[in-house]
Amino acid sequence: MKKPDIQAKLNQLRETFSIARAERKPRQYAADILRLRTKEERRAALDKVPVEIRSIVEFYVAEHFAKVFKRPLPSLARRTAESR
């Protein structure tokens, strides 16, 4: 019985998922956005994030601010509707 080629399977998974093909991971984008000072700068940086992972990055940023300011997460539906 031949062992499956793990590297070939990993490559196949990378091709399947667009997040794996992204230059950077969502948490890296979120970390860069969180370093910015103003809300306008953060929104402009979020608009530059690839569309495939933008909602994930937006969640990470919102989650951080919810923890820091001890507030519930804002509704992301409003922001997504505005960006369409």
> Is residue 2 one of the residues assigned to a domain?
no
> Is residue 55 one of the residues assigned to a domain?
yes
> Is residue 30 one of the residues assigned to a domain?
yes
Positions of the chain with pLDDT under 70: 1-4, 10-22, 73-84
DSSP one-letter string for the chain: -PPP-HHHHHHHHHHH-HHHHSSS-HHHHHHHHHT-SSHHHHHHHHHTS-HHHHHHHHHHHHHHHHHHHT-PPPPHHHHHHHH-
> Is residue 7 one of the residues assigned to a domain?
no
pLDDT value, residue 23: 74
> Is residue 40 one of the residues assigned to a domain?
yes
pLDDT value, residue 26: 92
> Is residue 10 one of the residues assigned to a domain?
no
d(CA 36, CA 8): 39
pLDDT value, residue 74: 65
Quote the mean pLDDT of the chain. Answer: 78
Q: pTM score, two decimals? A: 0.61
> Is residue 58 one of the residues assigned to a domain?
yes
Q: Which domain holds residue 25?
A: 18-83
> Is residue 66 one of the residues assigned to a domain?
yes
pLDDT value, residue 15: 62
